[in-house]
A and B are shown apart, each in its own frame.
Chain A
Amino acid sequence: GAVVSQHPSRVICKSGTSVKIECRSLDFQATTMFWYRQFPKQSLMLMATSNEGSKATYEQGVEKDKFLINHASLTLSTLTVTSAHPEDSSFYICSASQAGSYSGANVLTFGAGSRLTVL
């Protein structure tokens, strides 16, 4: 089945530093990748939709200059949290859908998530 690899799984950083999270589709091409944030006991919150070769589409309230998304190839998207602050501490999850139409059970495959702790 489709596999999405996300790295790192856990990261602790100092306030003011930047952190990069990678999301790779291992056995399929992902024209679209999604980045979510999840706070404890809450549901997934879509941050942005990343399309290969174009700028990401950010959801309302998500700062594009703070959360930099790059989707340079069909198998790799990165999320960089710039100048991280303690309130950015969260569980960040990427997901990908295979190239092709959105019809039918075009299931999202999720990465394992990255737990960011900003001190």
Chain B
Amino acid sequence: GQNIDQPTEMTATEGAIVQINCTYQTSGFNGLFWYQQHAGEAPTFLSYNVLDGLEEKGRFSSFLSRSKGYSYLLLKELQMKDSASYLCAVRDSNYQLIWGAGTKLIIKP
């Protein structure tokens, strides 16, 4: 079956750096997405990786290793507003999005 694993919850300190990991097992691979979702709101797009390596976008970076079925989202200079759930999603060979359960990130002052 298809599976995406991410930690359920993580805690970090304001101003610090946090890495959220995502491992996947899917039937085929056509890209990996990271979304941010604040409580009670819809997800918003953060990043997209289809080739191995690091994609940097401001304070957020996302890394992909297709051979390892692994990605991470790196958040730098954490701010209180970064407290949210972070969803990892993989597009499989049928171009269906398979969603992880999300990682709830708690930022402490």
Contact = CB atoms under 8 A, between A and B. Distances in A.
Overall SS of chain B's interface: loop
A107 B33 contact: yes
Interface stretch (B10-18, B40-48, B70-78): B40-48
B31 interface: yes
Interface string A1-37: 0000010000000000000000000000000001000
Interface string A86-117: 00000101010000001111011111110100
Given A43-B102, A44-B87, A107 B45 contact: yes
Given A105-B31, A108-B97, A115-B40, A43 B87 contact: yes
Interface residues of A, number: 23
Nearest to A94: B42
Overall SS of chain A's interface: loop
A68 B97 CA distance: 22
A115 B40 CA distance: 8
B27 to A, nearest CB: 15
Interface of B: 30-31, 33, 40-45, 48, 50, 87, 91, 95-97, 99-102, 104
